[in-house]
Amino acid sequence: MPSQLRADLMDIAMAIPEKSRVLDLGCGDGDLLAYLRDERGCVVRGVEIDEEHVMEAVAQGVPVMRADLDDGLAMYQDQSFDYVVLSMALQEVRHPAALMTEILRVGRHALVSYPNFAHWRVRWYLMLKGRMPVSKHIPYSWHETPSIHHTTIPDFAELVGQVGGVVENSLYLASDSTGESREVHSFPRWRAESVIALVGRPRCEGSGAEGSGARS
């Protein structure tokens, strides 16, 4: 088990009930899945394209399939997981809508984290310098970045709706003066640097509503 999870991964872990079936897409070295298995009794699976990360996850005893997320999730049956995690990777895939459709097919819920491109520092940087910003959550020059689909909070909610889902809850995060992550409660479209969204399908009696925190 990892000695300490990255702060945003811990927020995701705390939103997942014990003994859930969890699929982590782009699982990296498997730290989140190892934590969920060891500390929350979850049944875990991972998908990762980087061979070195796959080996690191396997070394932790995490079952990982090496695959490209843009190829879809045909290897998994409908509703075979309680939660599907996609952490800071949606902006890097070629076809976000297709992937979100697959996520909602194989999972009852999804926890998706992404950088908010409408954060006030990004807007300010563009206004003052007229150049693509570089920051903690967008750390690459425009020509080097793996992110090919920047998004904002309304844009993400619109995408989810287009593929038949609903944003049930969101946790909005920003860095404080010490660099530590903290929750944002007011004006999240401007102040949140990153978002963790709980996504599901609309209930029969209603379509659900976007809330203020992803913690269960």
For the chain, what are the domain ranges? 7-116+150-200
pLDDT of residue 127: 66
Angle at 64 between CA 59 and CA 66, to 5 degrees: 115
pLDDT the model gives residue 212:
37
The SS3 call for residue 142 is coil
Maximum average pLDDT range among 128-137, 192-201, 203-212: 192-201
Query: Rounded to 5 degrees, what angle do the CA atoms 165, 171, 173 make?
Result: 135
Amino acid at 148: I
Average pLDDT over the chain, rounded to an integer: 86
The model's pTM: 0.83
Per-residue pLDDT at 208 exceeds 50? no
197 contacts: CB under 8 Å, gap ≥ 6: 110, 111, 112, 113, 114, 156, 160, 167, 169, 170, 171, 214
Per the DSSP assignment, residues forming a β-bridge with 195 are 114, 172
How many whole angstroms separate alpha carbon 152 and alpha carbon 28? 24
Question: What is the C-alpha to C-alpha distance for residues 81 and 84, in angstroms, rounded to an integer?
Answer: 7
- Residue 137 in this model has a pLDDT that exceeds 50: yes
205 has pLDDT over 70: no
Report the DSSP beta bridge partners of residue 199: 110, 167
Query: CA 120 to CA 188: how far, in whole Å?
Result: 10
**Residue 191 pLDDT:** 85
Pick the CATH number of 7-116+150-200 from 3.40.50.10490, 3.40.50.150, 3.90.550.10, 3.10.20.30: 3.40.50.150
pLDDT at residue 17 is higher than 50? yes
Q: Please state the φ and ψ torsions of residue 33, each to the nearest 5 degrees.
A: -65, -40
Residues 192-195: contacts with CB under 8 Å, at least 24 apart: 192/116, 192/119, 192/153, 193/115, 193/116, 193/119, 193/121, 193/135, 193/136, 193/137, 194/8, 194/88, 194/113, 194/114, 194/115, 194/116, 194/137, 195/113, 195/114, 195/116, 195/153, 195/156, 195/170, 195/171
